[in-house]
Amino acid sequence: MTLEALVGRRLVFGLPGPDLTDEDVRLFRQTQAGGLILYRRNFETPERLARLVDGLEAALGRRLLVATDHEGGRIIMLGRGVTIFPDGLAAGTAGEPTYAHRQGLFEGRELRRLGVDLNFAPVLDVLTERYSPNIGIRSYGKDPELVSRLGAARIQGMQAAGISACAKHFPGKGHAPVDAHLGLPVIDSDWSEMHAMHLPPFLAAMEAGVDAIMTSHPLYPRLDPAPRMPATFSRLIVEEYLRGEVGYRGVIVSDDLEMGAIGELCPIGEATVRTAAAGHDLLLVCHTPERQYEAHRALLEAYQASRLPLRGLEQSAARIDALAAKRVARYDGGPARAERDGEPLAKALATRAATCVAPITPAYRRALNGRVLVIFPRLSELAARITVEDVMQDEARFVREALAPYGVEPDVEIVAVEPDPSEVNRVAAAARAADATVFFLYDAHLYPSNRALLNAIQDAAPALGVVLMRDPWDAEWLRPGVAGMTAYGWRRCQLEAALARLLAPT
């Protein structure tokens, strides 16, 4: 294999749309990139996705390593032909490893039918008391033993179904104070704390035989004291600890090098070279052709100038080839479809996870016999950026059908994901006129406008029940007498499980 081919083998690129273009083929041909990561922007239907992937491979005359982020809950890129499972924190609250294993098994089968080789999941970051703006409900929870058990079970399920799993984000960033997509987090934990809380799930994943591990972008100054040295660039953390001391022999993957955290440190070309030098095998540059070409050029020049060792390049290529060799066919299992038992499992997980975070009083239940108002966010606003289930995009119809089994025919107010003051005033007035209000709160921790909306409704509503859609930590802002439920996410199965607890008579 030529030097150019060895370098390209390590690069994983994203494409801009759902249909193959001449520019897409040119990018992969000129860089010899070996990996393709699929995003929501690439997916309309399974058939259209197949034309994209098959067309690119046919034009190149070679097999690619196809990857995606399919965590469940909020992070699902390919939203048809699959089961929509709840978020990680819901699975963690349900707490059943058998469920996690079956989820992984079903996900693996479904993704292989879509042509995916590598799933960047599960998230093994452990939460702490510190609010996590990015990980949050993506994590299984605060108990490292529970995260370890569920993560290992799901990995074994996925890989038994023929898809490679990837544990993330090593060495653990469940307590990162900043979203690495937007900025550079700093985590002050030392090795002792990391070994006690954050590393055990990754060690359990290795024992379970996980095919790949993804690293993280935060600075860990007490793990590697070199200035401005994120884990992504740290040879001490990646090569010396993960590869050397721990002895991991699978594929090590970078997180997307176009994230804001890396952009604060250096240009993409330098970032790619430093990430390779740290000991990564696969290097992700997911969004911008100019940066993808720059990453390839810088990496190739570094090997041509012997600033990076050829021996390490050959070792990475061998590990990537071994990963790819686990699957000969592009697709397995027939046409794309969700597993028959997937939806019942998702509902079971959501039902076990539904949690009362503030008491549902008899007075509130009596008020539900009168005029009921439901306030619900316009999730269809998000559909261009993240996967929103079809049934949830007609919000008013979803609400009415979800409440119908409880004999409730509500008035419905749909508000923006980030409501403006006029919307806040409008729905507060509607809540004042209702006997009981059900408010679906979309993350007051992240959106100040939703905190303002919550406060206005609490001022106005005679009787109020709140369903926390994203962050269960919003419970701290519920006033005495306000009923509160969460299912740790806003997928259909989760909201229906929360409503069942909020509305069903005792």
* Residues catalogued as catalytic: 181, 255
What distance in Å separates the CA atoms of residue 506 and residue 471, rounded to the nearest whole number? 26
Provide the H-helix boundaries in 225-307: 235, 260-263, 268-278, 289-304
DSSP letter at 238 equals: I
Helix (H, G, I), strand (E, B) or coil at 346: helix
Angstrom CA distances, 402 to 63, 343, 357, 442, 503, stand at: 45, 16, 21, 18, 11
Identity of the amino acid at 56: L
Nearest to 379 by CA among 82, 45, 49, 79: 79
Q: Which of 148, 242, 183 is nearest to 231 (CA)?
A: 242
Euclidean distance between CA atoms 382 and 398, whole angstroms:
16
Instruction: Say if CB 119 and CB 70 are below 8 A apart.
Output: yes
**457-486 b/e with 16+ CB inside 10 Å = b?**
bbebbebbbbbbbbbbbbbebbeeebbbbb
- How many Cα atoms are found within 13 Å in the side-chain-facing hemisphere of 158? 31
d(CA 154, CA 131): 25
- Segments in 32-143 forming alpha helices (H): 46-60, 88-94, 97-113
Paired sense of beta strands 251-253 and 436-441, if any? unpaired
Q: 322: closest CA among 33, 58, 9?
A: 9
